[in-house]
Structure 1
Amino acid sequence: MRNFDNLEPQTRGAIHMATASLFFFLMGLMVKYCQALPISEIVFFRGVIAMVLCLVQLKVAKISPWGNSKFLLIARGLCGTGALFLFFTTLHQLPYATAITIQYLSPIFTTILTAIILKEIFYPKQIIFFILALTGIIFVKGFDLSGNLWPYLIGMLSALFSAGAYTCIRKIKETEHPLVIIFYFPLVIIPLILPLVIRDWVTPTAIQWLYLLGVGVFVQIAQYFMTRAYQLGDASVVSLPGYLGVIWASAGGYFFFDESLSLLAFFGITLVMAGVVGNTLYRRHKISQGS
């Protein structure tokens, strides 16, 4: 541990982010194993576990859970709800690596939304990376027009909702405690999803209860490591190891679910990653130049 603490903050941040990506992968693995359960039920228990953990943390820290910018906090919760529900849907309908890759479009959409809503700097050449990433999705889907497009469109909509949540967080991060921002996610999602849970209820088996617990616990651990990563280093640097999730998902899909991807799909995944990572690095370079 002493040797780890002696590493540069950027390096420690990158290691934390890589660890976060592993736990996010494990969360997705649990969701894949819960395919016999309704999506609403998985999302609901994800919210309940998050609610309990957040309330305990808020109590220990003696922080009021209600926050100041309630409109934006609720908007963050609504966007997060849409993103999670749709992402879990794609996990049930697409190969694991494909679902994860589409979700990684969220930084692209975040750049667009923050430029429009928050008036953050947008560089025209970033459009090249956007086109590259979207072209990658076309290759991942394949050129068979008779195939089902809906899971891919649902995945892209999930990424857009995630971008909406990130945009809200960007706006309120200076005025709201991180625990309050996290708390509003289960606060919104539980009452929204409860009617669907009651309507579609399926009693989980013993092993499915463990999977549901894993969904909630693994994502909380992942969020801890992700938060520490951003505290330790520059966001544009420490975020890059997070894209290891595609590798975890490709391996996990193959070994646990017998999912195999075509060379065309792997090429598409490479294009998406090149577009997303290229956009991050280019933006960082331009900002560092002060241009």
Structure 2
Amino acid sequence: MIISTLSFSLMNSVVKYLDHIATFELVFFRTIGSLILGTSYILLKGIPLLGNNRKFMIFRALTGLIAMSLFFMSLKYLPIGTAVSLRYLAPIYAALFAVLLLKERLKPIQWFLFLFAFAGVIVLKGFDKDISSTGLFLVLAASVFSGLVYVLIRKIGNGDHPLVIVNYFMFTGTVIGGVLSINNWVAPKGKDWLLLSSLGIFGFFGQVFMTKAFQIAKTNLVAPLKYIEVIFTLLVGVFWFADVYSLWSLLGIIMIITALITNVIIGNK
């Protein structure tokens, strides 16, 4: 899980660094790299490429594409650690969608923790005047769509291999990202090619090692480790991008992550 979170942190950092590249061009390079690696693995292992629950996998792919595009856009406006922390509100929206769409129930303490996490957002925005409203809107919208992705994956269930589900997402992102980036294409120069190529590699290994972690250890032990990504990303923001986080920003981030980790532990019990 630590390798996974480090991979995702590096991927997000490269996206932040390449802020001169159009969003959908970044989406294209992010997805085509993972598509090539994922398809190669699927064919090598003899896994059915198209899967079974195709309709919901297409819905998941489109929803995931919207979430990723909005998140990449938000990185142009927000410190990277703040953006990643706010994106992690997705499990709250996932829980709310599960109540509405899957008729699941939540414990009263979970509702309190969700409110506590939102209070962290208010602290983050209300007291830190440097937080961009545009960036905040984009990343909150991204977390809503990410929450819907979780519910769609649960709806798909275990009938399809995880890499097949991911591959639908990567294929959709490659096609739509490629088409939408034609008019705004920025020709990569020098090390841009290497950095753009790394997006798919970091993203692919982030997915693979996260899946492996959940396969070999109990969920309530593994899931909280996802939030190590916030620590990695904050450090990258400080040392690579010279991001400055006020005490209010750090307090808001701590409130959000504390609430979500506690919710994961309680939810799994």
What TM-score, normalized by structure 2, do the two folds share?
0.95
Q: Quick one: distance in 2 between partners of 1:202 and 1:244?
A: 33
Name 1:120's counterpart in structure 2. 104
CA distance in 2, matches of 1:221, 1:272: 26
The alpha carbon displacement at 1:262 in A equals: 0.4
SS of residue matched to 1:275: helix
Q: Residue 74 of structure 2 aligns with which residue?
A: 90
Q: What number of residue pairs does the alignment pair up?
A: 269
C-alpha distance in structure 1 between counterparts of 2:254 and 2:131, whole Å: 22
Whether the 8 Å contact between 1:142 and 1:265 is mirrored in structure 2 is: no
Q: CA RMSD in A?
A: 1.6
Alpha-carbon contact 1:24-1:245 (below 8 Å) kept: yes
- 1:111 aligns to 2:95 (yes or no): yes
Cα distance in 1 for partners of 2:153, 2:121 equals 27
List alignment gaps of at least 5 residues for structure 2.
Answer: none
Among 48, 60, 73, the alignment partner of 2:32 is 48
Please tell me the residue identity of whatever aligns with 1:119: K
Equivalent position SS for 2:141 = helix
Matched, 1:231 2:215: yes
- Give the C-alpha shift of residue 207 in structure 1: 0.6
Q: How far is the alpha carbon of 1:61 from its aligned partner? A: 1.3
Aligned residue among 268, 271, 274 for 2:252: 268
Matches within 5 A, 1:85-234: 85-143=69-127, 148-234=132-218
- Give 1:38 shift: 0.5
Kept in 1, the 8 Å contact 2:79–2:237? The answer is yes
Once the 2 structures are TM-superposed, how far is the Cα of residue 147 of structure 1 from its aligned partner? 6.4
The AA in structure 2 aligned to 1:18 is I
Structure of larger gyration radius: 1
8 Å contact 1:40–1:85 — kept in the other structure? yes
Moved more, 184-193 or 95-104: 184-193
Shift in Å at residue 145 of structure 1?
7.3
Q: Tell me the TM-score normalized by structure 1.
A: 0.88
Aligned CA distance change for structure 1 residues 147 and 105 (closer, same or farther; 3 Å): closer
Indicate the residue corresponding to 1:8 in structure 2. none
**Which residue identity is paired with 1:19?**
I
When residues 255 and 144 of structure 1 are mapped into structure 2, their CA distance, relative to the original with a 3 A threshold, is closer
Please give the alpha-carbon distance, in whole angstroms, between the structure 1 residues aligned to 2:169 and 2:148: 13
**How much has 1:284 moved relative to structure 2?**
2.5
Once the 2 structures are TM-superposed, how far is the Cα of residue 195 of structure 1 from its aligned partner? 2.7
Offset of residue 73 of structure 1: 0.4
| 1:73 and 2:57 correspond | yes
What amino acid maps onto 1:50 in structure 2? S
Deviations 1:45-79 (A, max 9, x none): 11111211121111111122112211100011011
| 1:142 Cα deviation from its structure 2 partner | 3.2
